[in-house]
Structure 1
Amino acid sequence: MTASPITKAAQHTPDGIAKKIRGLSDRSIAWIFVAPTIFLLLAVNIFPLIWTIRLSFTNYRVNRPNKEVEWVGLRNYERILNDPDIWHTMQATAHFLFWTILIQVLIGFALAYLINNKFKGNDLWTTIIVFPMMLSPAVVGNFWTFLYQPQIGLFNYVVTFFTGGDPADFSMIGDVYLAPWAIIIADTWMWTPFVMLICLAGLRSIPDSIYEAAECDRASKWRQFWTITIPMALPFLMLAVLFRGIENFKMFDLVVQLTGGGPGNTTTLTSIDLKREAFEKWRTGYSSAYAVILFVTVFGLASIYVKALNKVKER
């Protein structure tokens, strides 16, 4: 009988090493395999975070490496929190987060509910709906920029049709009030399929026996929807909100492709503002403090939200 590769490896292992391995506990062996990954994560994530926190208390500028670095304490944090432009950027980001999450969850859940009720051509429509999510943000940005063009853009014709203006004289991404909505529409088109897939997984995890029992009790479809479907799919809905909230808080590439933060600063989100401070104005210490504030904000809100999500799962 031919020996397995594991047996051959064991037979060729030197006696000294074999004795040491046999003397290790399961926990020690597990740590041997896990340790390289932990060290890699510490090097890639933890060290940059600690370094960023340290720089946030200085006036360091990366484009002036020979300049003496001064310890400024909390001055950078005070300047950020007292800057009205920063608060305007926070407000624009909150506006973007609220509407994108709300619209994507409503449309995504509705699509998941329809697809869950299997019909002819179900798989084909699912593939078509998921297609935008497969594209890169750069491609989506260029595609929607084409749709928003003053002369040939579809949305410009729709808006000017109701307002009675000339499509050639109007640009949706150039309008102060409509530019934020232009980004919301593009992001919704791209990421609603992601929310739909999460909601679809939640809907298909609900046992059919629960609906059958409700039908035996003569519960209407509407009552089944509110007492069975929504409560049991709620953890998945909340998970979709968490994922999209974190991703949209750091939204950058799609906004740059569409508006570049304009017109004015109407679509300048925190990620774009942070990039300008760090790589255009080269205020490294200041931008580090900015990054720490954003990290604490996202981490704090996400922690509170995850606790609420765990409570919902325990019900």
Structure 2
Amino acid sequence: MTDHADIRYTAAPGEAATPHEATAPGRPRRAVRGLPDRWLATLFVTPSIALLLAINIFPLIWTVYLSFTNFRANQPGRPVEWIGTRNYERLLGSEDIWGYLQATAHFVVWTMLIQVAIGLGLAMLINRDFKGASFWTTIILIPMMLSPAVVGTFWTYLYQPQTGIFSAIVDLFTGLGPIDMIGSVSLAPWAIIIVDTWMWTPYIMLLCLAGLRSIPDYLYEAAEVDRAGPFQTFWHITLPRILPFLMLAVLFRGIENFKMFDMVVELTSGGPGSTTELASINLKREAFEKWRTGYASAFAVILFVTVFGLGNIYVKALNRVKS
């Protein structure tokens, strides 16, 4: 058999061999006007890299720079003064900032605990083979298809103490009378937790359902042969197999809830007082109401470092579980 690298082109009498036809041994032919493959790859990748730098990297670098200045966006002609770490010192020494971070942590932790518990339970119910499972799955998924701003507005009416359905249901089962979920300092944080749980539990359910359906049937058959009880089967087979899916769901939803904004603004606007003023809401007020752009940029950098650090630790734990 003749090796392809040794093939030569022999021109007919009076015909000149072209460069593409008289290729040197071992040298690949170029399909696009003789451009090397590396140049072609660079030509296609460069626009994507430039777009990534323009949309993500440059704003991040600009925000870090502004965090060390006293820049105000509503005074563009004002000279920008470099003030070093003064914005960070004010932030870390402010009790209000720690209160906003505490409210955010309260919201994130409780939504994750409740959503994981309910989402896992719904996934185990839907995973059973019964008539109408597809229909009920679609019904459960409806809340996560809506816009958070729409959901916030919708639940604002449900929470009305005199005319809202939620207050009427609570009064029916407890006899406590009308309750103001949004206007109460003690109940307002739980009001936004309930709404977020209603909206995003289906997302947790979907990931758990994917994990449940990836478990081989022979594992359950072996457990049945060994006469393992329902709890033992769940603890030793189901939970270890779906744990990576659960952790992935918590990672995605935790990051999203850490920067939750639109739904909470529509529900409570951070009130009553600053009870439900999450870090993202305070950041918006500092940047676009008080126009302390440098100060707000420092706060944004702190939030970014916090989420990035926690996310990195969590991903390492997730990799250990998967391995």
- Report if TM-score (shorter chain) is over 0.5: yes
Question: Would the alpha carbon gap of residues 47 and 215 (structure 1) be closer, same or farther in structure 2, given more than 3 Å must change?
Answer: same
d(CA) in 2 for partners of 1:120, 1:17: 56
Equivalent AA in structure 1 for residue 89 of structure 2:
E
The equivalent residue for 2:140 is 129
Deviation, 1:165, is 5.1
* Counterpart code for 2:273: G
Aligned: 1:18 with 2:32:
yes
**Do structure 1's residue 273 and structure 2's residue 282 form an aligned pair?**
yes
**TM-score when scaled to structure 2?**
0.87
Match of 2:186 among 161, 167, 177: 177
Aligned mates of 1:211, 1:101 — CA distance in 2:
28
Partner of 2:58: 47
**Do the aligned partners of 1:97 and 1:248 also contact (CA within 8 Å) in 2?**
yes
Listed as ranges, the gaps of 5+ residues in structure 1 are 1-14
Distance 1:285 1:222, change over 3 A: same
Matched, 1:83 2:97: no
- Which residue in the other structure is 2:219 paired with? 210
Structure 1 position 161, deviation (Å)? 5.3
The whole-number CA distance in structure 2 between the counterparts of 1:161 and 1:89 is: 35
Candidates 64, 67, 71, aligned match of 1:56: 67
| Unmatched 5+ stretches in structure 2 | 1-28
In percent, how many aligned pairs have the same letter? Answer: 68
> Normalized per residue, which structure has more helix?
1
Cα 1:155–1:36, aligned 2, differ >3 Å: closer, same or farther?
Answer: same
Task: Measure the CA separation in 2 of the matches of 1:208 and 1:164.
Answer: 48
Partner of 1:3: none
Q: Letter of the aligned partner of 1:193 in structure 2?
A: P
Distance 1:30 1:91, change over 3 A: same
TM-score (norm 1): 0.90
SS of residue matched to 2:182: helix
Matched residue SS, 1:175: coil
Residue in 2 that maps onto 1:74: 85
1:205 to 1:73, Cα distance in 2 relative to 1, 3 A:
same
Q: State the shift of 1:34 in Å.
A: 2.6
Q: Distance in 2 between matches of 1:87 and 1:263?
A: 18
Contact 1:155/1:172 (CA < 8 Å) preserved in 2?
no
**How many equivalent residue pairs?**
296
- Is the counterpart of residue 96 in structure 1 residue 107 in structure 2? yes
Following TM superposition, the consecutive aligned residue runs of length 4 or more in structure 1 with deviations greater than 3 angstroms are 15-19, 28-32, 158-166
Q: Does 1:32 align with 2:43?
A: yes
Instruction: Map residues 222-261 of structure 1 onto 2, 5 A cutoff.
Output: 222-261=231-270
Cα 1:62–1:112 change in 2 (3 A) is same
**Match for 1:147 among 158, 165, 174?**
158
Deviations 1:175-209 (A, max 9, x none): 00000101000010000001100111111111112
1:33 to 1:155, Cα distance in 2 relative to 1, 3 A: same
CA distance in structure 1 between the aligned counterparts of 2:128 and 2:311, rounded to whole angstroms: 33
Q: Is the 8 A contact 1:198 1:236 kept in 2?
A: yes
| SS of alignment partner, residue 75 of structure 2 | coil
Say which is worse superposed, 148-157 or 254-263, in terms of deviation: 148-157
| Structure of greater Rg | 2
Distance (Å, rounded) in 1 between the aligned partners of 2:176 and 2:205: 37
